[in-house]
Structure 1
């Protein structure tokens, strides 16, 4: 059984982004279920960060300083760095492997 990292990275990022945005909206409006949506968003963001870092560190085209940059970006600015990674950089990483 082969694990498809491409689907895991993309799905976990999209799920975390949507759940966090909707959870924040629910929290602002004081609607029930906000805490659960925010927890789902944070857990799926953790899955995304782990799988994206695995993908970055196993890439042969990324040098060590760029790997450090992605690590700091994912840990400090998870959603913003994730958006940049999924939309721009990831295509180059996968294409060059």
Structure 2
């Protein structure tokens, strides 16, 4: 069974037992969360699509870790104008383990 969930403004296809890095969620390591924004569910050939959410469907996840992604380097330049700008960014993330999909 799989589900399509929405968290942090993004959509993820998840399967039970899978690990996933999402936008940072303020939760303690080891705690379990319930994600109720399930957009679609499926098993085999059957698919249940919500309008916009599937009624009564939840995904139980466990918080494994918090961290930061690799640095992304931003470089802006205007040719012949003597303008160069360098910047870096590291996005925070929360690593989740999908415990179960209920629906």
TM class by smaller structure: under 0.3
Higher relative contact order (Cα pairs below 8 Å, separated by 6+ residues) = 2
Report the TM-score, using the length of structure 2 for normalisation. 0.19
User: With structure 1 as the length reference, what TM-score do the two structures score?
Assistant: 0.20
Q: Of Structure 1 and Structure 2, which has the larger fraction of its residues in strand?
A: 2
